[in-house]
A and B are shown apart, each in its own frame.
Chain A
Amino acid sequence: MIRTPAIDWLTLAPSLALLAATIASLMAAVLVPERRRRNVSWFFCLAGYAGAFAAAAILFDRSPHSRGVIANALFRDRYGALAAMIVAGVGLLTTLVYYGERSTVDRVGERFALLASAGGGMILFAQSANLLTLFLGLEWLSISLYVLCALERERPEAIEAGFKYLIVGGFSSAILVFGAAFVYGATGTLNLAQIAGKAPSGDLFLITGLAMILVGFAFKASAAPFHTWTPDVYQGAATPVSGFMAGATKAVALLVALRVLSVSFSAQEHLWTSAAAALAVTSLVVGNLAALAQRDLKRMLAYSSISHAGFLLFAITAASSLGTRALLYYLIPYGAASVGVFALAALHERELGEPATLDNLAGFGWRRPLSGIALWIFMLSFAGFPLTGGFVGKVYLFAAAYRSGWTWLLIVGAVATLVSLGYYLAVVRAIYMRPEPGEKAAAKEEPPLLDRMLSTAVFAAVIVTVGSFFAVQPLIDLAKHAASQLPL
Chain B
Amino acid sequence: MLTTALICLPLLGALSVFLLPGPRMWVGSLALFFSLAELALWVSSLIRFDFGSARIQFEQQHSWISDLGISYHVGLFGFSLWLVGLTVVVMTAAIAYGLWSGRERANAYYALMLLLLAAIVGVFTAQDLILFYVAYEAMMIPLYVLIGVWGGAGRLRATFKFVAYTMAGSLLMFATIVIYGLSHGFDLATAQQSGSVWLFLGFAAAFAVKAPLFPLHGWLADAYRESPPEVAALLSGVISKVAVFGFLRIALTQFPGPTHDLRSLMLALSAVGLVYGSLLAFRAPDIRGVVAYSSLAQMSLIGLGVFAQNELSLSGSVLQMVNHGLVSAALFLLAGVIELRTSTGALSRLGGMARGRPILASLIISIGVISLAVPGSNAFAGEFLILAGVFQQGWGWAIPGLVAMVLAAMYMLRLVSALLHREVGEAVTKKAPDVLLPELCVIGALLGCMLALSVWPAAISKHSFACLSQPPVTSAGISSQSKAQVGLACVPRAGSTTATTTGTAK
Interface residues of A, Cβ cutoff 8 Å to B: 322, 325, 366, 369, 380, 385-387, 391-392, 395-396, 398-399, 402-403, 407, 410-411, 413-415, 417-418, 421, 425, 428-429, 432-433, 472-473, 476, 480
Are A396 and B68 neighbours in the complex by a CB distance under 8 Å?
A: yes
Distance between A436 CB and nearest chain B CB, rounded to angstroms: 13
Which of A366, A386, A418, A473 contacts B167, CB < 8 Å? A418
Partner of B175, one of A366, A414, A428, A432: A414
CB <8 Å contact, A380 and B171: no
Spot the interface stretch: B129-137, B260-268, B356-364, B400-408.
B129-137
Q: Are A402 and B105 in contact (CB under 8 A)?
A: no
C-alpha spacing A432/B155, complex, angstroms: 12
| Complex CA–CA separation, A473 to B64 (angstroms) | 7
B68 — nearest CB in chain A belongs to which residue? Answer: A399
Q: How far is the CB of B136 from chain A (nearest CB, A)?
A: 8
Residue in B closest to A415 when the chains form the complex, CB atoms: B171
Interface residues of B (CB under 8 A from A): 63-68, 70, 105, 108, 130, 133-135, 137-138, 140-141, 144-145, 148-149, 155-156, 159, 163-164, 167-168, 171-172, 174-175, 178-179, 182
Q: Is B167 a contact of A433 with CB atoms below 8 Å?
A: no
In addition to A392-B65, A433-B149, 14 A-B residue pairs with Cβ atoms within 8 Å of each other are A325-B67, A386-B133, A386-B134, A386-B135, A387-B134, A411-B175, A414-B171, A414-B175, A421-B167, A425-B144, A433-B155, A472-B64, A473-B66, A476-B66
| Total inter-chain residue pairs, C-beta < 8 Å | 82
Q: Tell me how far the C-beta of B198 lies from the nearest C-beta in chain A, rounded to whole angstroms.
A: 10
In the complex, chain B residues whose CB is within 8 Å of the CB of A417: 171, 174
How far is A325 from B140 in the complex, measured between Cα atoms in Å? Answer: 29
Q: Which of B66, B67, B133 has the most CB of A within 10 A?
A: B67
Check A402–B148 contact: CB distance below 8 A: no
Give the contacting residue for A473; candidates B63, B68, B164; CB below 8 A.
B63
Residues of B within 8 A of A413 (CB): 175
CB–CB B68/A425 < 8 A: no
Determine the chain B residues whose CB is within 8 A of the CB of A403 once the complex forms: 182
Residues of B within 8 A of A429 (CB): 148, 156, 159
Beta-carbon nearest neighbor of B63 in chain A:
A473
Residues of chain B within 8 A of A386, CB atoms compared = 133-135, 137-138
Q: Lowest 9 A-B CB distances belong to which pairs?
A: A386-B134, A410-B175, A414-B171, A414-B175, A398-B178, A433-B148, A386-B137, A418-B171, A386-B138
> Which residues does chain B contribute within 8 Å of A418, judged by CB atoms?
164, 167-168, 171
Expressed in whole angstroms, the Cα–Cα distance for A432 and B167 within the complex equals 20
Do the beta carbons of A428 and B182 come within 8 Å of each other?
A: no
Chain A residues with Cβ below 8 Å from B138 are: 385-387
**A433 neighbours in B (Cβ, 8 Å):** 145, 148-149, 155-156, 159
Q: Considering the chains assembled together, what is the distance between the CA atoms of A476 and B65 in angstroms?
A: 8
- In the bound complex, do residue B67 and residue A428 qualify as a contact, i.e. CB atoms below 8 Å apart? no
Min C-beta distance of A325 to chain B, whole Å: 7
A369 and B105 alpha carbons, distance in the complex (Å) = 11
Task: Given A387-B141, A417-B171, A421-B163, answer yes or no on A407-B179 (Cβ-Cβ < 8 Å).
Answer: yes
- List the B residue with the shortest CB-CB distance to A403: B182
- Which chain B residues lie closer than 8 Å to A325 at the CB level? 67
Contacts of A396 in B (CB 8 A): 65, 67-68
Contacts of B178 in A (CB 8 A): 395, 398-399, 402, 410
Q: Of all chain B residues, which has the CB nearest A401?
A: B178
Q: Which of A386, A392, A414, A421 counts the most B-chain CB atoms under 10 A from its CB? A: A386
Residues in chain A near residue B168, CB distance under 8 A: 418
A236 vs B473: C-alpha distance when bound (angstroms): 74
Q: Considering the chains assembled together, what is the distance between the CA atoms of A181 and B65 in angstroms?
A: 43
In the complex, how many angstroms separate the beta carbon of A395 from the nearest chain B beta carbon?
A: 6
- Chain A nearest CB, measured from B79 CB (Å): 24
A114 to chain B, nearest CB (A): 38
Q: How far is the CA of A433 from the CA of B144 in the complex (A)?
A: 10
Are A480 and B67 in contact, with the CB atoms below 8 A? yes
Shortest beta-carbon distance from A185 to chain B in Å: 41
CB of B371 to closest CB in A, whole Å: 33
CA distance A395 to B133 in the complex (A): 11
Chain B residue at minimal CB-CB distance from A377: B141
Shortest Cβ gap from A422 to chain B (Å): 8
In whole angstroms, what is the CA distance A432 to B172 when docked? 28
Residue of A nearest to B174 (CB): A414
CA distance in complex: A392, B138 (Å): 14
